[in-house]
Amino acid sequence: MDHTSVTPTTRLLITVAVMTATLIQVLDTTIVNVALPHMEGSLSATPDQISWVLTSYLVASAILMPLTGYFTDTLGQKKYLLISIAGFVLASALCGAAANITQIVLFRLLQGVFGAALVPLSQSILTSVYPPEDRGKAMAIWGVGVMVGPILGPTLGGYLTDIASWRWNFYINVPIGILCLLLSMRVIPDSPIKERKMDWIGLTLISVAIGGAQYFLDRGNHDDWFHSTNIAFAAFLSVMSFLGFLLHSLGKDTKKTVFDLSIFKDRNFTIASSLLSLFGLGLFGGMVIIPLMLEGLFDYPVLTTGLIMAPRGISGLISMIIVGKLIKYVDPRWLILFGTILSGVGMYYGTYYNTDISWGWVVGPILLQGFGLGMVFVPISTVAFSTLPVHSRAEAAGLFSLLRTLGSSVGISIVATVYARMSQTAWNQLGGHINPFNPAVNHYLQPLHLASDSKMGEMVLTKVLIMQSQMVSFVDVFMFITASFVIMIPLIFLIKKTNYKQAQTAPPVMTD
């Protein structure tokens, strides 16, 4: 089925079905974050063990994402989507019913396995059922779920945990997933089945490479990076497996490899994927560091933090809708550039924060960040597929989502590391000036009628030192994320300009 045989009503139902599937998948990457302390006590797990609830899901989904093209070819997109939704719903129910840490980690692995294809499949299906002139709008719709879902996840997770229990972070997927499954059975179009063999050696190598990289990124900062034997071994194993995969796959028939590496010969896809990876640092890095500042430094409740973060998603949604219309008339490169500058300015504003700011100082830049991020996401997604051959787009969607996931993991890991290291550095630098011989110290304590060598005086100075060192580290992180947006700018001009009128006459995605 191509876009010419899809009625507007059917197209709307298809959009609702695939975006619902996308939303429940991306929500589950962040919805349990705020519930981890509750899960830790309920499942009698240690902090180190409970972190695997996040890691296992990310590792499984990262490994399976590149295989989207293979399973789409061998099963057809409709059957593969139905299997993925049904498996995800079942795994969600099992996660909610888990009785111990072993069960929850195993069921989260299953969630990652079945959920891996939902995002790339939704992207591929939307581009196939929308006419070429409306694919910018389709990517805007897809981007709403992918971008807004992780932002709303912590807020929804905190609310469900407060009013019910952490188990409802998983149970909520069941009724929504069942409705999505029933709707998908009726409206999702199928794609031709192609004969394709599995390259088991290549699959093993790329699975070890992705799994090792994901473990390295997720656990690196917690285990002090290369000072840990496990982290060093994971990094070595990941690099060697990836090199082995390249040597094994290059030069082979693309029908006999795990995925077609020739996709990366397309300049627009490669540049857009690189931009998306850097974009992950700004999107997810900001999503991690701002709540950490609001809750850890300013003592805002979880729900309040979620409400302050919500405008980021709302402004991103508005900009995606606007860009979905503008992309027909404006060169996508200029939209990406403008969005990157807006995002960078919004993040740079954070370098002026101090411990006396109110919530209003945070909301304004968050609105600017969200608007810029939404403006970047749609044209990047559109450009990535604009010059690809029709038969490569389903496979490319899996790789595109994989790179988005890995870029997000890299962003979160880098931001966590910069924050931890800069906080310690600031502690040492500022702490060196706090001593009984510094007149400023005694002048600060004098209105409190305290001495620097008294126990209460030491407690006050320690609290101030902690707050100020954290504030300095937050400012450093905001500057670092701003720099990542600056690095994106030269890459934008490497994108090949596409002829939009030519794109309008291009064949649909799944009709080769």
Q: Single out the residue in 251, 285, 312 at which a domain terminates.
A: 251
Output the six-digit token pair for 107. 């069921």
Output the six-digit token pair for 336. 């990406």
CA distances from 91 to 98, 106, 109, 187, 264 (A): 10, 9, 9, 24, 34
H or E element: which one contains 368?
helix 359-386
Q: Are residues 169 and 276 in the same domain?
A: no
Q: Are residues 216 and 180 in the same domain?
A: no
Q: Which of 137, 130, 138, 94 is nearest to 113 (CA)?
A: 94
Q: Single out the residue in 251, 274, 293 at which a domain terminates.
A: 251
How far apart, in whole angstroms, are the C-alpha atoms of residue 70 and residue 82?
A: 16
Q: Are residues 149 and 295 in the same domain?
A: no
Q: Which residues contact 430 (CB under 8 A, 6 or more apart)?
A: 465, 468, 469, 472
Q: Single out the residue in 220, 251, 282 at which a domain terminates.
A: 251
- Asked if residue 285 has pLDDT above 90, the reply is no
The reply to whether 258 falls in a domain is: no
How far apart, in whole angstroms, are the C-alpha atoms of residue 276 and residue 492?
A: 11
- 79-101 pLDDT tens trace: 999 999 999 999 999 999 999 98
Output the six-digit token pair for 509. 């995605």
Counting Cβ atoms within 10 Å, is residue 196 exposed (0-12), middle (13-18) or buried (19+)? middle
How far apart, in whole angstroms, are the C-alpha atoms of residue 320 and residue 127?
A: 16
The reply to whether 130 falls in a domain is: yes
- 436-460 pLDDT tens trace: 788 888 888 888 778 777 888 888 8
Count other C-beta atoms under 10 Å from residue 354's C-beta.
12
The reply to whether 29 falls in a domain is: yes
Q: Which residues contact 347 (CB under 8 A, 6 or more apart)?
A: 282, 286, 365, 369, 478, 481, 482, 485
The reply to whether 423 falls in a domain is: yes
SS3 32: coil
Q: Are residues 210 and 154 in the same domain?
A: no
Counting Cβ atoms within 10 Å, is residue 66 exposed (0-12), middle (13-18) or buried (19+)? buried
- Note the pLDDT of residue 502: 41
- Note the pLDDT of residue 499: 52
- Note the pLDDT of residue 48: 63
Q: Are residues 229 and 154 in the same domain?
A: no
**In this predicted model, which residue has the larger pLDDT, 81 or 501?**
81
Backbone phi, psi, residue 179, to 5°: -60, -40
- Note the pLDDT of residue 503: 43
Output the six-digit token pair for 372. 């810029």
The reply to whether 362 falls in a domain is: yes
How far apart, in whole angstroms, are the C-alpha atoms of residue 31 and residue 27?
A: 6
Backbone torsion region of residue 221, taken as left when φ is above 0, otherwise alpha when ψ lies between -120 and 50, otherwise beta: alpha
How far apart, in whole angstroms, are the C-alpha atoms of residue 360 and residue 368?
A: 13
Q: What is the mean pLDDT of the chain?
A: 83
Provide the pLDDT confidence category of residue 510 given band limits of 50, 70 and 90.
Answer: very low
- Note the pLDDT of residue 504: 41
Q: Are residues 186 and 213 in the same domain?
A: no
Q: Are residues 396 and 428 in the same domain?
A: yes
Backbone torsion region of residue 199, taken as left when φ is above 0, otherwise alpha when ψ lies between -120 and 50, otherwise beta: beta
Q: Are residues 153 and 221 in the same domain?
A: no
Q: Are residues 227 and 158 in the same domain?
A: no
Provide the pLDDT confidence category of residue 221 given band limits of 50, 70 and 90.
Answer: confident
- Note the pLDDT of residue 485: 92
- Asked if residue 508 has pLDDT above 70, the reply is no
- 312-368 pLDDT tens trace: 878 887 888 888 788 888 888 999 999 999 999 999 999 999 988 888 889 999 999
- Asked if residue 2 has pLDDT above 70, the reply is no
Cβ(111)–Cβ(88) below 8 Å: yes
- Note the pLDDT of residue 350: 92
Q: Which of 87, 47, 179 is nearest to 95 (CA)?
A: 87
> 93 is in which domain, residue-wise?
1-198
Q: Are residues 236 and 112 in the same domain?
A: no
- 136-163 pLDDT tens trace: 777 777 777 776 676 677 778 878 877 8
- Note the pLDDT of residue 197: 77
How far apart, in whole angstroms, are the C-alpha atoms of residue 175 and residue 67?
A: 28
84-93, 232-241, 268-277, 396-405: least confidently modelled range? 396-405
Q: Are residues 246 and 180 in the same domain?
A: no
12-16, 160-164, 258-262, 494-498: least confidently modelled range? 258-262
**In this predicted model, which residue has the larger pLDDT, 96 or 277?**
96
**In this predicted model, which residue has the larger pLDDT, 408 or 483?**
483
- 24-59 pLDDT tens trace: 888 887 787 667 777 878 888 876 677 778 778 877
- Asked if residue 254 has pLDDT above 80, the reply is no
The reply to whether 511 falls in a domain is: no
Query: What is the tally of structural domains in the chain?
Result: 3
Q: Are residues 230 and 323 in the same domain?
A: no
The CATH number that applies at residue 393 is 1.20.1250.20
H or E element: which one contains 210?
helix 200-219
**In this predicted model, which residue has the larger pLDDT, 304 or 95?**
95
Output the six-digit token pair for 260. 């077609």
The reply to whether 508 falls in a domain is: no
The reply to whether 512 falls in a domain is: no
SS3 435: coil
Provide the pLDDT confidence category of residue 500 given band limits of 50, 70 and 90.
Answer: very low
Provide the pLDDT confidence category of residue 509 given band limits of 50, 70 and 90.
Answer: very low
